[in-house]
Structure 1
Amino acid sequence: MIKSAVTVALVPQIKSGPWIFWENLEQAMAKAENLGFDGIELFTADANAIDPEELSYSLNMHKLELAAVGTGAGKVIHGLTLTDPNPEIRKKAISFISEMISFGAKFNAPAIIGSMQGNVLPGNDRELTLSWLAEGLEILGEKASAEGVFLIYEPLNRYETNLFNTLESGASFLEKLETQNVKLLADLFHMNIEEADIAKSILENGKYIGHIHFADSNRQPIGMGHTEMESVAEAIKSINYEGFISAEAFPFPDPDAASIQTMHAFKKYFENC
């Protein structure tokens, strides 16, 4: 079953970005429930930002699931990445993500590694940097496995990372890992920049996809840019994807309108899937 989710940002230090709802979690969940979303994807400052019991109560009350948890605050707030040349920073990055994995696992939700993957910094060796990334993913993939969930790695566009920008390059890297518990995030916004053919890439790398971000070419809600969604939706259905399609999009023109547009698009392409 393909399920819908909407993103909620709860990081006080961040005032803008591709998240539909902001700050008020209860209000966001009420609106998500009223619009018919199946779940929410959370972006929090750390693993201790929300009391798990309170979150569980609220999710149950609003008949929602936790789709995934983002880890980007680790970089945005603390400057942590898995590929920092400083081994102490890499260790702290692994610890931060590990705690997020444990938090999400309480709700059977995976953690997403996006910006915390980092970059090959100027003057650094690419292969050495990738070995640091592999080391982190090996540790965290097994941590997630022990917690009963999988880990999500997100190829980002070239303006955000110089590690892996396409599903194919990400999949090739995951193939070399010993852990089998890391899946890819297919973010339609990043794919619009990097993939020659979004639908073809999804079809060819479908077995690796564990999560999908639903955003148009301009990172506004689907239907407000120029992404050709018909073929993309057919590809997603063709790989028998069973997971969340989550709106990581700008709240344009405002959160309410963006969430309504997102649900309209989800129903158009994935209703009854």
Structure 2
Amino acid sequence: MARLGIHSFVWTGGTTQEGLEMAMDRSAEAGFKAIELAYLRPEKFDLSALAKRAQALDLGITVTMGLPVSADISSTDRDKVAAGEALLASAVAAVRDIGGVRLGGILYSAHTKYNALPSADGRKTSAEVIAKTAEKAKAAGVEIVLEVVNRFETNLLNTTAQGLEYLDLVGRDDVRLHLDTFHMNIEEANPAAAIRLAGDRLGYFHIGESNRGYLGDGVIDFAAQFDALLDIGYARDMTFESFSGAVVDESLSLACAIWRDTWTDSVPLAAHAKAFIDLKRTEALRRRQTNARP
């Protein structure tokens, strides 16, 4: 059974050690078995202390990030590519040091709205750097998963089909896709079909509503997507993600266009998400059992 996690941005902007420790505590109190953190700069945080706290709470850790424009590995600027490769290597080391299991997110390009189409050379360079990063990650015991996001946050991987083509270019079986219900709702004609297309190359899954708020208050067909996850035998971690201007910092607000408070109180949001996801999982299993009866 996949562990159910929650993004630390539900609890904190993630700029202080105390905030991250609080996020871990509250995640465990709410019944989640994993927490997702944004990239942690070793010079700003005590990673060893965070690792010990997560271990004491029996929380798995995933770290996700997006590359800045100055470190865009899909660029044709060699200095930017070199900066991106170094940043990814640092991120892999940080995930290792905090006891995390995977590094995900927009690792293959800058996290930004581009004003040009991706170039063939840039795509090739990006895949080469990801392959090198995956080799480092393998030695560190860290999985690499690449998040497929909407057109306003990257120009490279917007659909599962594009993601699979890119994985072929990377050429490593240990690099997988990271799909997200929010992004699929924007880009995929049929999100459930996209999940089935990903199949065993799906390595991580984000659950978020179309308006980034409470699950069930938007337009996403969660039943169809949980059915699809069962169809592919998905048994890896999944994480609830929700952003509100009440919590996230300015940089994320700018990158993800969080211009308003989609909620103001983290505790009921987290409790509702846990109950909602547990219910949808149970309903999908019941449908599967009913359909399997002669």
Q: Which TM-score applies when normalising by structure 1?
A: 0.86
Residue of structure 2 equivalent to 1:38: 33
In structure 2, C-alpha distance between the alignment counterparts of 1:123 and 1:263, rounded to whole Å: 40
Residue of structure 2 equivalent to 1:79: 70
Identity of matched residues, %: 23
Match of 1:51 among 46, 53, 69: 46
Residues 1:230 and 2:220 aligned together: no
In structure 2, C-alpha distance between the alignment counterparts of 1:260 and 1:122, rounded to whole Å: 40
Question: How far apart are 1:247 and its partner, in Å?
Answer: 1.6
Specify whether residues 84 and 120 from structure 1 end up closer, same or farther in structure 2 by C-alpha distance, changes over 3 A only. farther
Residue of structure 1 equivalent to 2:6: 6
In structure 2, C-alpha distance between the alignment counterparts of 1:120 and 1:188, rounded to whole Å: 20
CA contact (8 A) 1:221 1:250 kept: no
Pick 1 or 2: higher relative contact order, CA cutoff 8 A, min separation 6: 1
Structure 1 unmatched ranges of 5 or more: 9-18
Residues 1:244 and 2:266 aligned together: no
User: What letter corresponds to residue 132 of structure 1 in structure 2?
Assistant: T
Residue of structure 2 equivalent to 1:100: 91
Match of 2:177 among 179, 184, 190: 184
Task: String of CA shifts for 1:176-211, please: whole Å, max 9, x gaps.
Answer: 323222110011111000111111110121211111
Residues 1:213 and 2:206 aligned together: yes
Question: How far apart are 1:147 and its partner, in Å?
Answer: 1.6
Residues 1:172 and 2:165 aligned together: yes
Q: Which TM-score applies when normalising by structure 2?
A: 0.81
Residue-pair matches, total: 259
Asked which structure has the greater CA Rg, the reply is: 2
Question: How far apart are 1:262 and its partner, in Å?
Answer: 1.4
In structure 2, C-alpha distance between the alignment counterparts of 1:144 and 1:105, rounded to whole Å: 8
SS at structure 1 position matched to 2:35: strand
Residue of structure 1 equivalent to 2:132: 139
Deviating above 3 A after TM superposition, structure 1's stretches of 4 or more consecutive aligned residues are 119-125
Residues 1:69 and 2:63 aligned together: yes
Task: String of CA shifts for 1:98-150, please: whole Å, max 9, x gaps.
Answer: 11112213424211141661379657761111112112111112111222222
Q: Which moved more, 1:248-257 or 1:199-208?
A: 248-257
CA contact (8 A) 2:21 2:50 kept: no
In structure 1, C-alpha distance between the alignment counterparts of 2:34 and 2:198, rounded to whole Å: 25
Residue of structure 2 equivalent to 1:265: 276
Specify whether residues 172 and 120 from structure 1 end up closer, same or farther in structure 2 by C-alpha distance, changes over 3 A only. farther
In structure 1, C-alpha distance between the alignment counterparts of 2:118 and 2:188, rounded to whole Å: 26
In structure 2, C-alpha distance between the alignment counterparts of 1:169 and 1:152, rounded to whole Å: 14
